Structures are given as C-alpha cells and as structure tokens.
Chains A and B, each alone.
Chain A
Amino acid sequence: MASSPKSDLPQGMLDLLILKAVALAPVHGYAIAQRLQQISRDVVQVPGGSLYPALHRLENRKLLAADWRQTETGRDARFYRLTRSGRAHLEAESASWQRLSEAVRLILGMAEGGSR
C-alpha cells in the first residue's frame, strides 16, 4: 500500500470517479474507497477528508442519493446511489474525459520522436 505513489486528484476528477464507482450498484463510502483503490491498482487512494466531503457535495447537487441500509454484516451504513441526473452527468463527463485523455496521449506521444 505504501509502495505506489499516491496521486492528488483534482476535485472534478474525484467526483467523476466516485460517480463511476457508484454507477453499478448502491454502495457505501468505504466500499467506494476500496473499489477505487483496487481497480486503480493502488494509484488512487482517497483519504477520508476528500472522500466524504465529495460524497456530500455530490449528494447536495442531487447527483447522488443516499439512505441508510444494513450491510451483510448487519451494521448500519449509508449507501449512495446514482440519480438520473447523476447518470447523465457521469456519461457526459466520461465522454469528455475520454476525449481529453486521448488528446493528451496523442500530444505526449508526438513530442517524443516526431510523427509516426
């Protein structure tokens, strides 16, 4: 866990990642953090001080909805799920990010050794 360098995420980026993490099924805050860490192979490790404010902000903006449910272990936890507008926002932002990252990849690739 301490081996790979942590990346600092800009806020908009974190929001997008959270939305994606929630997209599949309602999930609680801890699970989101776990999911993000595992899928990104430990690159993305979100401290609580970023995660929870972000979750609440997304909830305020009505992109996420939350309620209290029981986990499999029988404890109470706050589960977040995507709202309709959240899903729409996720799709739009994902597409935008894909375009951007593709453009960056091309530019960075080009700077090395001329055209391919």
Chain B
Amino acid sequence: MNWWRRLSRPGEQEARLDQEVSFHIEERVSDLMRSGVSEGEARRRVRLEFGGAEQVKEGCRDVRRARWVETLSQDCRYAWRNLRRNPGFSVVAVATLALGIGGITAIFSAFDAILIRPLPYADADRLVMVWDDMTRSEGDSTFFSTPAEWFQWRRLNTVFTDLACSQPGEAILSGDGEPEEIRARKVTWNLWSVLGVQPALGRVFTYDEDDKGARVIVISHGLWQRRFGGAADIVGRKITINDTPHEVIGVMPQSFYFMPSRDIDVWMPASFPPGLRNNITWHNAQIVARLKEGVSLEHARKSMAALSLQVTAKDFRGPHSATVLPLREEMAGKTQAALIVLLWASAALLLIACVNLANLLLSRGVARGREVAVRTALGAGRGRLVAQFLTESLVLAGVGAVAGLALAVPAMRFLEQIVPEAMGAIRLTLDWRVLAFAAAASVAAALTFGLAPALRGSRLAPQKGLRDGGRGTAGASSHWWQNSLIIVQTALAISLLTCGGLLLQTFQHLRNTDLGIRTERLLTFETPLLRYQDFDRRVAFVNAELEKVRVIPGVAGVGAISRIPLTVTDGSRFYLLAGQSRDRASAQIALTRVVSHGYFGTVGARLREGRFFETSDRRSESPVVVVNESFANRNYPGRSPLGERLKFERLNEKGYWYTIVGVVKEIHERGVTEDSRPAIYRVHEQADQSNDTPSGIVVRTAVEPASIISAVRQAIWSVDANQPLARIRTMKDIVDRQLSTPTQSSALLGAFAVLALLLASVGLYGVLSFAVMQRTNEIGVRMALGATSTDILFSFGKRGLALTLAGLAIGLAMAAVAARSMTSLLYGFRPEYLLTATLASLILLAVATLASLVPARRASRIDPMVALRNE
C-alpha cells in the first residue's frame, strides 16, 4: 500500500525526504563539532563534501519521477503486447469503444458549436430579447414588439443598461450589376453598443444620423466580398438602394451576425418618425437589451412584465405584458432540446459499451488468474497490479478514441444540418475543445470499464489461482457483477429503443401532416414591390408579371401572396367582427395575407364552403375575404360565416368592411411544425388598405421547377428590367429545411438505439458463452447424471431470459421518465407510447432470446464424455 500512501499524502513524503537528508547533515555536523571544529566551519565543510541539501533532495525526486515514467512506459508496453496477443478481443473492444466515444464526441461538437461557443458579442450571456407577451389573445406567448414600446421601455426601465430596436427592412440594390434584393434591417443607432461589437472597417451610425434619417448604411462582410469584391475603398462609397444613393460608412467583421438570421446584408438607421411615441405601428420590432450588472433574468422578467402593463394601460387594445428571454436560447431554438436528448442518448450508448467491456474484462480477469497469482507470489503489490490493469484499460480506451474520432467526422457532417436557422451555416470541426472532450470521455470510459475488473482481477489469492490451473471458477460474486451489468445494458438499450421509436413516430407524423397545400413541383420566390408604392401601378405590375409567368411552357399555374406559405414569418393583425365594440379587437389577432385571384388554385388549397377569389373580384368599396377554418370555428362556431362582415388592420372609419365569401381548409402558414392560426385572405386588387403587398410568387409547374427558373426571370424582367428576384426555392426545399431537425434527431437517435441493441445483445451473448465454456465440466457431469439436452438448454436460456426481463422492466421505467422530458421534441404530437414500448420490448426480447439460445444450444449439445475429459 506504499504507493497509495505516497499518492495520497505527497506532502508527507516530501517532509520525510527532508528529514532524512537533514538527519545526515546534522549527524555529520555533530561529528565534526565533536572533533573540535566550530559549527560554522563544520557546516561549511559538510556543505562541500555532502553537497547542498536541496540538490540532494532534487536528485531523489528525479529518481522518483524517472521511476514513475519507467513504470508507466513498462505498463503501456505490456498492455500493448497483451492487446496484440488477443486480436479477437482487442478488435471487438476497440470497435465497441469507437462507437461509443465517436458518437458522444460528434454530438458534443454540435452541442459546443450551438450552445457553448461564445456568440460574437461582448459578454453575450448578459444579452436578452424582450418580446410582447400576448398570452391572453393567442396561445403563443411571444410576439414582436413595436418601436413605441421600445421608446417607453428605454426611458422607464430599471434593469437594462440599454435597449436597441431592430425592424425588418426592404432593400433593393441596383446600380452596378443586376438588381438584387438584399436582406436588410432597420436598427437603432445603439444596436452596436448594446451588442458590444465594433465594425471591421469604418464606423457605425450615430444618434444624430439615426435621428435625422441620414442615408448611411453599414454592410456585412459577405456583401462587401460578394457584390463589391472586397474593394478597399468601400467606406465612403455611395451605393444605390431603393433607387436612392446611400453612403457606406462601415463594414462588419466576417464573424458578426445577428437575429433574425445569419445572412443580413445591410443595416440601416431606424429613423423613427417624431410622432412615434403615441403611434401604434406594426408589431414587427425585435428588441435586444443588455442586463445591468447584478440583475438576474428573473428579476428583469418581472420588472419588464410590470412595466409593460403600465405602459400599455392606455392602449386601446388593452394592456399586455412583456417577457424576457436569453439571447442564446432564442438563437438555438428547438435545436437545444434535440441536442440535449442526443447527448444523453450518446452517453447511454457509451455506457453500454463500457458495461460490455467491463463484462468482457471481468471474464478475462478470471481466466488470467494464473498470471496474476504468479506475479503476486513474486512480490507485486496489489496496487501495482491494479495500476497495470488500469493502464491496459487506458491504452484500450486511447486506441478506441482514435478510431472513434475517425467515426465522428462523418457523423459531424451529418449533424451540420441540424444547426438552427438563426445561426446560419456552421462547420463542425475537431477543434481543441472537442478533442479535449473526447480525451476526457476516453479516460472516464477507461475508468468505468476498467476499475472493477482491475480491482477484482488483482484480488485473487495466489494459491487459489495457481491451483485452479489458470481457468479459475466464477464465484458467486462475479456472477452477481455480470448479472447486474447485463441488466444495466438491457435497461439502457430498451430506453433508447423506446425513445427512438417515439421520435420516429413524431417524425413520421410531421412528414405526413396535411399542410393544406400541395407541395410538389411548387416554385417560390419573391419580387419585392418597394418601388411600387402607388396602388394602381402596383396592381398593374403584379397582374402583368403573373400573366407573363403563366404563359411560360411548363407552368401549370401562378399566384401571388404577401408571405410565402410555410415560411416562418408573421403578419398578424387585429380584427373586428361586425357588431363588436372596438375594444374587442385587442383580444383578436389573425394572420392576414394578400393574394392574387389564382393563388388558392395554384397552391392546391381546398375549399370547405363558399368560393375562392375570382377575376370578377375587382376594385370595390365592399371587398371580400376568404377565411380559414380556425377563424370560422373560433368566431362563428356551429354556423356558416359566409356573408358575415369584418374589419382588420385599419379598424377606424377609414377601414373597409370585408365580407366573407369562402372558408379554406387550414394551410400551415407559419411552418410545418407550427400549429395553425386563424387567417384572413384578401385580394390585392380590391382595396388599398395595408402595407402588405403580394410580393411572394408561387408557380405550379408540370416539369421540374428548377428548369424554368431562367424563363421566369426573363418573364419578370420583360415587365420591369430592374426588378430583382429573391429567395428562389421550391416548396419541397422549404419543407425539408424545416423538417431537418426532427429528421436528424430521429435518424441519430434511431442509429444509437440500434447500436445499443446490438451491443447489449453481444454483451449478453458473450457472458453466456463464457459461462458455458467455464462450466463445461459441470455440464458434462450433469448430463452424465441424467440431465437431458433440453434441461441444459433451459437452464442456460433461463438465465438469459431472466436477466433480459429484469433489464426490460427497469428500462421501460427509465424510458417513461425520459419521454416526459422529451415533450418539446415531439412538437405537440402525442405518440403512441404503449405501442412503441411494446414493439421495442418485443424486438429486444427476440434479439435477447437469440443471443441466449445460441450458447445455450451449444451447452446442450456438449458430449458428456468430452466434457468430463476436458481439463
């Protein structure tokens, strides 16, 4: 136990060394003094002949260190030799470990990139988003805010150092080159200081420039490279946006990005008009704020909720609250839950792998009894043996880790698609953090699977081991170890299987959701209508471009809409039904869309009652609308809404009264995974009411949508050569992108589950096989005494079955708990838990039975004569 003492109390060892050396020096000095030398002279002489105490001690320390290194390298060499001598075992062990370590490393790299790596802002943990809380009106709680609220919050809050406001902007870049729509945001001057970022070139706009609406802009690194070739003179250059010259005053660094997505190209001053504070404008503002020093999130939440109620008290829509969310959470979105689940699943897989290995090593430990006995008899302390076995485990884990990293790389490619929209395209790489994690995981794994076998293996009493001739018998306690490990494995495997099944169900459900439109062969793109502020010109242009596209060969239909369906954008307004008092509107929100006549037909929407729009619906003082089912069911339960009138957006006398002429079956306007909301559709020609314009175009094609893109471009440009087309993509792409997180999650979890099942059954098989081999003698005796093959078969098969059932029970309980915590990943869908659990159990039982039967059969087939002779 010497080494243990030395390890646990290094201070004491140092003190002892000091004591030993000092003793020598003092004795020598005393001797010299006794022979008449003065103390000072004695010490000097001793120093000369003995050497300095510190150097002597250092020499001893060197010996200690060298020994340690020597021991370690010796152990490593021994371990390596051992591994090579048992290739079968080594390959299995390394493969098992590679799966476990590779899996968790890959997941961690995504976890790190999305949830841990610092965002490109100063002190990003203090940044939050502030949203309106409209839980009263609609189920969903967060809602865009308004600049008026931003102004008040900024003035009155006590919890933030500053708040900045960001609104969507429209920007068509023209001038040198093709007209191009670029992603723009209108932001207040203090956005940069709130985020704590500096431009890479030039500067950002000041309060004055924002206030006076100066035509200055800050552009992104991407735009600078893409459109201007990284020109060195970009700062100060004037570029044409929306037909007006704007001066570029700054360029942001390449690593910079902010909400709502990574591809924002230009930031313009918000330039709120002076009458803003009393003006209720659209709810489309994102507010980002920095928490004051020492203010907690909870405190800020409460404070802002109260403040908002106070500020909106005199709002005609009624007071509403506000909520505060950490920026990181906003950006990670649903991906966070998926990653957490995947991390647990990969940890479970690694655990199963370790358990398998532990079992394997325990069995081998028994077989190595002779070797251990010999070495113990020769004087190796138990500590030495344990250290050596652990070194073997570490070497094994190291090799497994290297193999695992090779596996992790393709897994990371696959995972890159799981990255949330807001964070854009991230590359997952094996950087130092990921590698450090892999190393830590390997060490943890080595300890997990290596400690028990090391402790047990080194414990064998020498005579016992020598007498048994090396085979050793598995005593009752080793049985217990093996059994519990098998149960743990089985439990983990069934949990993974069940949860994987649940996710798979959810994914299937999402895939098969009725989206309300036909998504195949539907091309979508946007033609921003910024330059058509005049209503009549706009109507004329839209009709003209639709007509031009319609006649392209291969086009089956074309329509326009203010926001492409299934894209996660908002566009809600308050509405009022005929007969309601004005203040009811504050509690009523619906999605509103402006469409062309042929829109519903083009997207393949289905009618519940009434009619869709027709070309006869022209400009009118009593325009018509089509509402969706949720709207009809909510506001006119049990009866037909046809003929009813409503107002929306402009609720004063200047607003039109619309008549409902049709009810459309739900279209998932907000996205595949989002639930649907009440919606109102109107025809763009009929009334000059809102700022919503039918800038989105959908084209149903009879051929591959991609093949007509250039024809479409030509068609649009034949009407207006300066009109940019933006975001050209097919509806199928949109759907696939939205389904990517659930797709990946279920694919990965499914893969983990299958691997877990495989490993667990291999583990069971291994343990039982080994038991058969060990007990061959015993079997021979039993058969000689009259046991039949079937008896033996049952005897071994029973053990396998019992273990599996125990693991099953525990695992199903674990799965139930896990499923509850996974609800956010299920997108509100309630999968059939019992069905999944039953199916998973059956699969596991089938595989486990097979794994038990094979060795059991082998046992039953043993020739008693051979067995008895076997030594």
Contacts and interface: CB of A to CB of B under 8 A. Distances in A.
Interface of A: 1, 28-30, 33, 45, 47-50, 52-53, 56-57, 60, 62, 68, 75-78, 85
A28 B27 CA distance: 11
A78 to B, nearest CB: 5
Contacts of A53: 56, 59-60, 62-63
A28 B23 CA distance: 10
B56 A49 contact: yes
Given A1-B49, A50-B59, 4 more contacts: A33-B24, A47-B49, A48-B51, A48-B55
B64 interface: yes
Given A1-B49, A48-B56, A30 B63 contact: no
B55 A49 contact: yes
21 contacts: A28-B24, A29-B23, A29-B24, A30-B23, A30-B24, A30-B27, A47-B50, A48-B24, A48-B25, A48-B50, A49-B55, A49-B56, A49-B59, A50-B59, A53-B63, A56-B60, A60-B63, A60-B67, A68-B16, A76-B19, A78-B16
Among B53, B62, B63, the most chain A Cβ lie within 10 Å of the Cβ of B63
A57 B68 CA distance: 12
A57 B63 contact: yes
A52 B55 CA distance: 11
Contacts of A52: 20-21, 24, 56-57, 59-60
Contact of A75 (B21, B23, B63, B67): B23
B459 interface: no
A75 B23 CA distance: 8
Interface string B582-608: 000000000000000000000000000
A33 B51 CA distance: 13
Tell me if B's interface is mostly helix, strand, loop or mixed. Answer: helix
B28 interface: yes
Nearest to A28: B23
Contacts of A75: 23
3 A-B pairs with the lowest CB-CB distances in the bound complex, closest first: A48-B56, A53-B59, A48-B50
Contacts of A56: 60, 63-64
Contacts of B25: 48
B20 A47 contact: no
Nearest to B32: A1
Contacts of A49: 51, 55-56, 59
Contact of A78 (B20, B27, B59): B20
A108 to B, nearest CB: 30
Interface string B55-96: 111011011100100000000000000000000000000000
B379 interface: yes
A38 to B, nearest CB: 12
Nearest to B31: A34
A45 B49 CA distance: 8
A48 B381 CA distance: 30
B34 to A, nearest CB: 12
Contacts of B53: 48
B16 to A, nearest CB: 7
A52 B17 CA distance: 10
A65 B754 CA distance: 56
Contacts of B379: 62, 85
Contact of A77 (B23, B50, B57, B63): B23
Contacts of A68: 16
B29 to A, nearest CB: 11
Nearest to A75: B23
A47 B60 contact: no
Nearest to A50: B59
A48 B27 CA distance: 13
A75 B64 CA distance: 26
Among A28, A33, A48, A56, the most chain B Cβ lie within 10 Å of the Cβ of A48
B112 to A, nearest CB: 43
Contact of A29 (B20, B59, B63): B20
Contacts of A28: 23-24
Contacts of A48: 21, 24-25, 50-51, 53, 55-56
A99 B201 CA distance: 85
Contacts of A1: 49
Contacts of B64: 56
A50 B649 CA distance: 95
A50 B55 CA distance: 10
Contacts of A62: 379
Contacts of A45: 49
A29 B59 CA distance: 15
Among B50, B51, B57, the most chain A Cβ lie within 10 Å of the Cβ of B50
B670 to A, nearest CB: 73
B805 to A, nearest CB: 52
A70 to B, nearest CB: 11
B640 to A, nearest CB: 96
A78 B27 CA distance: 13
Contacts of B60: 52-53, 56
Interface string B737-760: 000000000000000000000000
A30 B19 CA distance: 12
B14 to A, nearest CB: 13
Interface in B611-645: none
Nearest to B70: A60
Nearest to A32: B24
A35 to B, nearest CB: 13
Contacts of B55: 48-49
Nearest to B62: A53
A31 to B, nearest CB: 9
Contacts of B23: 28-30, 75-78
Contact of B28 (A30, A60, A77): A30
B645 to A, nearest CB: 98
Nearest to A45: B49
A97 to B, nearest CB: 23
Contacts of B24: 28-30, 33, 48, 52
A63 to B, nearest CB: 12
Nearest to B59: A53
A49 B24 CA distance: 12
A106 to B, nearest CB: 35
Nearest to B55: A49
A53 B58 CA distance: 9
Nearest to B25: A48
Given A45-B49, A47-B49, A47-B51, A77 B59 contact: no
Among B24, B59, B63, the most chain A Cβ lie within 10 Å of the Cβ of B24
Contacts of B51: 47-49
